[in-house]
Amino acid sequence: MRVPRIRRIRFATGGLALATAGALALPAGTAVAATAPVPPAATAAAATGPLVSYVVNTKANHGQVKKAEREITALGGTVVYSYEQIGVIIARSADTRFAAELRQSKTVDSVGASRTKGIVQNDLETATEVAAPAAAPADGTEPLEANQWDLRQIGADQAHRTTLGSRNVVVGVLDSGIDATHEDLAPNVDPALSVSCIDGGKPDTDWKAWQPTTSEHGTHVAGTIAAAKNGKGVVGIAPNVRLAAVKVVDDGGFIYPEYAICGFVWAGQHHFQVTNNSYYVDPWMFNCKADPDQAAISEGVRRAVAFSQRNGVLSVAAAGNANIDLAHKTTDASSPDDTTPASRPIDGSCLSLPVELPGVVVAAATGSNGDKSYYSSYGLNKVTVAAPGGDARYQTPDTPDKNGRILSTVPGNKYAYMQGTSMASPHVAGVLALLASSHPWAGPDELRHLLTSQADEHACPTSVYDPGGTGSYKATCEGGLQNNGFYGAGVVNAAKAVDWWRW
| pLDDT(117) > 60 | no
What is the spatial distance between Cα 396 and Cα 390, in angstroms, rounded to a whole number? 9
CA distance 368 to 203: 39
**Does the pLDDT value for residue 18 go beyond 60?**
no
Q: Using one digit for the tens of pLDDT, what is the confidence trace for 450-470?
A: 999 999 999 999 999 999 999
Selected catalytic residue, list 373, 422, 425, 437: 422
CATH superfamily of 28-113: Peptidase S8 propeptide/proteinase inhibitor I9 (3.30.70.80)
pLDDT (average), residues 171-200: 97
What is the enclosing helix (H) or strand (E) of 65?
helix 62-74
Q: How far apart are CA 202 and CA 205, in angstroms?
A: 10
Considering only 132-141, 360-369, 486-495, which range has the smallest mean pLDDT?
Answer: 132-141
Stretch 177-192: mean pLDDT, rounded?
A: 98
Tens-place pLDDT, residues 384-416: 999 999 999 999 999 999 999 999 999 999 999
AA letter at 211:
Q
Q: What is the chain's mean pLDDT, rounded?
A: 89
- pLDDT band for 422, please (50, 70, 90 cuts): very high
Least confident of 25-39, 61-75, 419-433, 488-502: 25-39
**Residue 24 pLDDT > 90, yes or no?**
no
Which of 82, 110, 166, 217 does the annotation list as catalytic? Answer: 217
pLDDT value of residue 473: 96
What are the Cα distances from residue 31, in Å, to 42, 129, 458?
19, 48, 56
Task: Please count the other Cβ atoms lying within 10 Å of the Cβ belonging to residue 267.
Answer: 31
Q: Which residues contact 105 (CB under 8 A, 6 or more apart)?
A: 39, 68, 71
Is 176 known to be catalytic? Answer: no
User: Quick check: 503 pLDDT over 60?
Assistant: no
Confidence grade of residue 10 (pLDDT, cut at 50, 70, 90): very low
Predicted pLDDT at 248: 98
pLDDT, tens digit (0-9, with 9 covering 90-100), for 317-333: 999 999 999 999 999 99
Residue 46's pLDDT is what? 57
Which entry of 150, 175, 293, 338 is annotated as an active-site residue? 175
pLDDT at 20: 27
- pTM beyond 0.75: the answer is yes
pLDDT given for residue 17 in this prediction: 28
Residue 48's pLDDT is what? 79
Mean pLDDT computed over 430-446: 96
The pLDDT of residue 500 is: 60
pLDDT at 124 over 70: no
Provide Rg for the chain, Cα atoms: 22
* pLDDT confidence tier of residue 125, bands split at 50, 70 and 90: very low
Instruction: Kindly report the backbone phi and psi dihedral angles of residue 193, in degrees, each rounded to the nearest multiple of 5, phi listed first.
Output: -110, 5
Asked whether 405 and 419 are in contact (CB, 8 A), the reply is: yes
Q: What pLDDT does 137 receive?
A: 79
What average pLDDT does range 222-238 have in this prediction? 97
pLDDT per position as a tens digit, 320-379: 999 999 999 999 999 999 999 999 999 999 999 999 999 999 999 999 999 999 999 999
Residue 11 has pLDDT above 60, yes or no: no
CA atoms within 13 A on the CB side of 210: 29
Q: Where are the domains of the chain?
A: 28-113, 164-456
Higher pLDDT, 3 or 272: 272
Mean pLDDT of 475-496: 97
Three-state DSSP state, 314: strand
CATH 3.40.1390.10 correct for 164-456: no
Judge residue 25's burial from the number of C-beta atoms within 10 Å of its C-beta, 0-12 exposed, 13-18 middle, 19 or more buried: exposed
State how far Cα 241 lies from the chain centre.
19
Q: How far apart are CA 460 and CA 448, in angstroms?
A: 22
Q: Does the pLDDT value for residue 27 go beyond 70?
A: no
Confidence class of residue 35 from pLDDT cuts 50, 70 and 90? very low
Distance CA 380, CA 400 (A): 36
Which H/E stretch holds residue 449?
A: helix 444-453
- Percent of the chain predicted with pLDDT > 90: 82
Catalytic residue flag (residue 422): yes
* Pairwise pLDDT comparison (34 vs 47), residue with the higher score: 47
